[in-house]
Amino acid sequence: MTELSGRCLCGAIAFSGDADIKMMANCHCSDCRAATGAAYGTLVFVDPSEIAITGQPKVFKHVADSGSAMEKHFCPNCGSQMFGRNSNRPNVMSIRAGVLDQKDAVKPAANVYMDSRLPSTPIDPALKAFPKMPG
């Protein structure tokens, strides 16, 4: 278990918990790029029951290329991306690595959606790479 905590830019949304990190990956899909404005998003996947959230995130819903119903949870005040949910993985929540207090805990194991990555994005060859989301 890993102690995780963090907050949005303005502090209106915060979270904490002792969680088992199921997976950590850099996602290069076009949805993550559009939502973050960055070349990719780094996601920490945990069981949502292990994380306590204070404040009320706003939720944006959309459909992924896989057909999954997706949710992006963000601060309605400052716009910070915080969490994500996928209807195909009901016992998993993603936390955007950029909002974590524990910066040393951010150690992605893979790059996913490499088929969608920006060609100029540097890629660590030591990480596993998948054309889409595995499993």
Can you give the residue ranges of every domain in the chain? 2-129
In this prediction, what percent of the chain has a pLDDT beyond 90? 87
Bridge partners, 111 (sequence order): 26, 129
> With 80 as the cut, is the pLDDT of residue 94 above it?
yes
Q: What is the pLDDT of residue 129?
A: 96
Q: What is the pLDDT of residue 27?
A: 95
Q: What is the pLDDT of residue 67?
A: 83
**Which of 102, 81, 75, 103 lies closest to 93 in space, CA to CA?**
81
In this prediction, what percent of the chain has a pLDDT beyond 70? 99
What's the mean pLDDT in 110-117?
96
CA geometry: angle 129, 132, 133, nearest 5 deg: 90
Q: What is the pLDDT of residue 121?
A: 95
> With 90 as the cut, is the pLDDT of residue 134 above it?
no
What's the mean pLDDT in 47-70?
93
**Which of 17, 41, 14 lies closest to 30 in space, CA to CA?**
41
Under 8 Å between Cβ of 133 and 92:
no
Question: With bands split at pLDDT 50, 70 and 90, how would you rate the model's confidence at 49?
Answer: very high
Task: Return the CATH class of domain 2-129.
Answer: mainly beta
pTM: 0.91
> With 80 as the cut, is the pLDDT of residue 126 above it?
yes
| Phi, psi angles (nearest 5°) of residue 128 | -60, 150
Question: With bands split at pLDDT 50, 70 and 90, how would you rate the model's confidence at 66?
Answer: confident
